[in-house]
Chain A
Amino acid sequence: MTTTARQLIVNAIENGTVLDHIPSENLFKVVDILNLAESQNQITIGSNLESKSFGRKGIIKVADRYFEDNELNRIALVAPQATINIIKDYKVIEKHKISIPEEVFGIGKCANPMCVTNHQKIATRFKTIVEGDRINLLCHFCEKTTNIINL
């Protein structure tokens, strides 16, 4: 079945996208952000898998679906180290890191309890501010900074 010799814990897919190196604790946030619960594609999700570089990681394999960059960049906030593998005919034909978008829309919640987005039906909007390996979110509305951990 597979073209690699090593044994895969999560089955390989013939065609589609593999999202690898997702922090296990944020795996299901990624599922939510990409709205995979609504998807009709075949999806395999692995959590708490062993990883040489991360200790434990999550992985999501979505068969027969290729995401747009702007869809994938939305997960940058919860999985900034994630790797995207494009699979065709069981082979990785493209592999890339995700990049952090300058602005994110409709993801996360402003940490400021007095922010208008926490009281009215308003989609959140943040500027991302990268400081080293931390990402802070500057709220477009209340101008307060939300730490990514609070998402």
Chain B
Amino acid sequence: MPKSLISIHDFSKEEMLHILDVASEMEKNKSQKILDGKVVACLFFEPSTRTRLSFETAANRLGARVIGFSDVGNTSISKGESLKDTIKMVSNYVDIIVMRHPLEGAARYASEVSNLPVVNAGDGANQHPSQTLLDMYSIRQSQGRLDGLTINMVGDLKYGRTVHSLLQAMSHFDPSFVFTAPAELQMPMEYKQFLTERGIAYRETTSLNEHLNDCDILYMTRVQQERFSDPMEYEKVKDVYRLDASMLGGVRSNMKILHPLPRINEISLDVDDTPYAYYFKQAENGMYVRMAIIACLLGYR
């Protein structure tokens, strides 16, 4: 097991499956005080309420205490302290560091500056590996397997880091993909090449309806305004896909809809009550997966 979780590429297939197995143990036993007396730092250099609460709850459920900050406004970083100094300082206090940072590569750097395990809770548009693992956990839980599934990724496939990481992680499990995106936001060439090199099939479409009925997982994403430099480009594509319950008449009975949340308009509220909605369960799973990540990196599983 690597010392830190920075990029999904650092973990082998076996290591990913181990985390998923531990997560399912955590789901069966939601409070275990195995980290009694430990301190977890949650350093959020940019705000992310959902991810932070999920990590903090995970640490608390394992019996650890949590310190940290949820944005840099009240910290010495706003006085100009370097990332290195902040990490060095915190490393003296705690047992493991969970961090989110707007700059890409910040978590990798922190893991090299610190002698402690570091969990990357998102570094800009680069990596967010706990999201990838919780997506995999939700896929396995809802389908009973990871192998041989058809995954339809919808929305911003150009800038969306969650779809890029999930695509690479799932490539170990003989998947086939559908990429549903407007012309401006299509899956970048490098990822399609990655699949071609591995003999993994993919189809591309601009129509959400085209492949609704022949996929096992419908992975919806939000078009994130913060990733666009040009506001005009954002306006053109922000509401391009809207899934509502009336579109789900012919889908496979096992089909499940995932979404990293928060959603804006891409999934209408009436989908929530269908048997296909899985995104709230997915968010809950995030906590078990993060419990597993912390426990594994600290050597308790």
Q: Check if A and B associate.
A: yes
* Chain A interface residues toward B at CB < 8 A: 112, 114-117, 119-122, 139-144
Q: Are A114 and B109 in contact (CB under 8 A)?
A: no
Residues 91-115 of B at the A interface (beta carbon under 8 Å): 101-106, 108-109
Q: Are A116 and B82 in contact (CB under 8 A)?
A: no
Interface-centre pick from B9, B84, B106 (highest chain A CB count, 10 A) = B106
What 8 A-B pairs are tightest by C-beta distance, nearest first? A141-B105, A142-B104, A142-B105, A116-B105, A116-B103, A116-B106, A114-B104, A114-B124
* Chain B nearest Cβ from A118, distance in angstroms: 8
Q: Are A119 and B108 in contact (CB under 8 A)?
A: no
Q: Known: A143-B7, A143-B104. Is A122-B109 also a contact (CB below 8 A)? A: yes
B90 in the interface (beta carbon within 8 A): no
Given A114-B102, A116-B123; 5 other pairs, CB 8 A cutoff: A114-B103, A114-B125, A115-B105, A116-B104, A143-B127
7 examples of A-B residue contacts, CB within 8 angstroms: A115-B103, A115-B105, A120-B82, A120-B109, A122-B109, A140-B108, A141-B109
Q: Are A121 and B82 in contact (CB under 8 A)?
A: yes
CA distance A114 to B83 in the complex (A): 15
* Chain B nearest Cβ from A96, distance in angstroms: 34
Q: In chain B, what residue has the closest Cβ to A121? A: B82
CA distance A38 to B103 in the complex (A): 34
CA distance A142 to B124 in the complex (A): 9
Measured between beta carbons, the chain B residues less than 8 angstroms from A139 are: 105
Residues 57-103 of B at the A interface (beta carbon under 8 Å): 82-84, 101-103
* Chain B nearest Cβ from A115, distance in angstroms: 5
* Chain B nearest Cβ from A131, distance in angstroms: 12
* Chain B nearest Cβ from A3, distance in angstroms: 51
B150 in the interface (beta carbon within 8 A): no
Q: Are B104 and A141 in contact (CB under 8 A)?
A: yes
Quick one: which of B9, B82, B84, B104 contacts A115, CB cutoff 8 A?
Answer: B104
Measured between beta carbons, the chain A residues less than 8 angstroms from B83 are: 116, 120
B126 in the interface (beta carbon within 8 A): yes
Q: Are A116 and B109 in contact (CB under 8 A)?
A: yes
Measured between beta carbons, the chain B residues less than 8 angstroms from A144 are: 104, 126
CA distance A122 to B84 in the complex (A): 9
Residues 2-39 of B at the A interface (beta carbon under 8 Å): 7, 9
Interface-centre pick from B101, B103, B109 (highest chain A CB count, 10 A) = B103
Interface-centre pick from B83, B101, B104, B127 (highest chain A CB count, 10 A) = B104
Q: In chain B, what residue has the closest Cβ to A143? A: B126
Q: In chain A, what residue has the closest Cβ to B102? A: A114
Interface-centre pick from A114, A121, A144 (highest chain B CB count, 10 A) = A114
CA distance A122 to B9 in the complex (A): 22
Q: Are A119 and B103 in contact (CB under 8 A)?
A: yes
* Chain A nearest Cβ from B297, distance in angstroms: 20
Q: Known: A114-B124, A114-B125. Is A143-B82 also a contact (CB below 8 A)? A: no
Measured between beta carbons, the chain B residues less than 8 angstroms from A141 are: 104-106, 108-109
Measured between beta carbons, the chain A residues less than 8 angstroms from B101 are: 116
Measured between beta carbons, the chain A residues less than 8 angstroms from B105 are: 115-117, 139-143
Q: Are B125 and A120 in contact (CB under 8 A)?
A: no
* Chain A nearest Cβ from B76, distance in angstroms: 15
Measured between beta carbons, the chain A residues less than 8 angstroms from B127 are: 143
Measured between beta carbons, the chain A residues less than 8 angstroms from B109 are: 116, 120, 122, 141
